A and B are shown apart, each in its own frame.
Chain A
Amino acid sequence: GESVGLHLPTLSVQEGDNSIINCAYSNSASDYFIWYKQESGKGPQFIIDIRSNMDKRQGQRVTVLLNKTVKHLSLQIAATQPGDSAVYFCAENETGRRALTFGSGTRLQVQP
C-alpha cells in the first residue's frame, strides 16, 4: 500500500527517540486536519485529528500541533517503535467539502 516509487521525504530515527513529521497546507479556509499512517500492503489508517479551533491535541504517544498562522501541521510520535515505520500523510478539509485533500506523505524509518 505504500507509494512505491514516489519520491517521499524520509525521516530516519532511532528506536526510542521522538519523531516529528511536518506538513504544510495551502488552504487558509481548511478547518479540519487528519494524520494517517499507511503501512506496506495496507490502506491509510486514522491516527489523530484536530479542528482549527485548537492548536494542540494529544493521543496515545502522538501529538498533533496546528499553526494556522503559517499553515503548518506536525505530528509528534513519542518513543518511536519499529512498528511506527510507515508512510504518514496529513489531510485537510474545509467545512462543506465532501472530500479530504491529502499531502504527498513522509516515510518514517525506525532503526532498531
Chain B
Amino acid sequence: ETGVTQTPRHLVMGMTNKKSLKCEQHLGHNAMYWYKQSAKKPLELMFVYNFKEQTENNSVPSRFSPECPNSSHLFLHLHTLQPEDSALYLCASSQGGLSGIYNEQFFGPGTRLTVL
C-alpha cells in the first residue's frame, strides 16, 4: 500500500453526467498531482497542487475541474466528458511544500474511467 488511495476504482459515465474522482494521501505530503494514462499515450500530467494552490495546469480542457481543499485531499470533477477521455486517472503525492521536493512521487491505484 503506497499511502495514496483513490475512489472509485472504476467509473462508467455518460457524456452528460457529472462525477468526481477522489484522492487521499496519508503520507504527510504537501504536493498532489493528477495524471492521465490512456491506451495510446504515456503518462500525462494534468494538474499539480502545492500547499492547496494549483501550480500547474497542463493545458487540460475545462471539462476537468480539480479541487484541493487541503494538502491531504484532491478531487477531479468531471462533466460533459467525451469518449476519448476514457483512461486510467492516477493521483500522486510528493513532499513538495517549502522543501520543493517534487521528484519522489507516490502513486495511488488509479480510477479506471469509461465514458460512453
Of B40, B42, B102, B104, the residue contacting A102 (CB under 8 A) is B42
Cross-chain contact A98 with B4 (CB below 8 angstroms): no
Taking CB atoms, residues of chain B closer than 8 Å to A3 are 37-39, 42
Pair B109/A42 contact, Cβ less than 8 Å: yes
Within 8 A of B (CB), among A22-55: 32, 34, 36, 41-46, 49
A residues 84-107 near B (Cβ < 8 Å) are 89, 91, 93, 97-100, 102-105
**How many B residues face the partner with a CB closer than 8 A?**
31
In B17-66, the 8 Å CB interface with A consists of 31, 33, 37-43, 45, 48, 50, 55-56, 58
Q: Decide: A99 and B102 in contact? CB cutoff 8 A.
A: yes
| Chain B residue nearest to A105 in the complex (CB) | B42
In the assembled complex, the CB of A10 is this many whole angstroms from the nearest CB of chain B, namely: 16
* A-side contacts of B110, CB under 8 Å: 1, 42-43
Is the C-beta of B76 less than 8 angstroms from some C-beta in chain A? Answer: no
Q: Which of B81-110 contact A (CB under 8 A)?
A: 88, 90, 92, 96, 102-110
Q: Are A5 and B40 in contact (CB under 8 A)?
A: yes
A–B Cβ pairs within 8 angstroms, 27 of them: A1-B37, A1-B110, A3-B42, A5-B40, A6-B40, A6-B41, A34-B104, A34-B105, A42-B110, A43-B2, A43-B107, A43-B108, A43-B110, A44-B107, A49-B103, A49-B104, A91-B43, A97-B102, A98-B31, A98-B55, A98-B96, A99-B45, A99-B56, A99-B102, A100-B45, A100-B102, A100-B105
Query: Which 4 pairs between the two chains have the least Cβ-Cβ distance?
Result: A5-B39, A43-B107, A102-B43, A104-B42
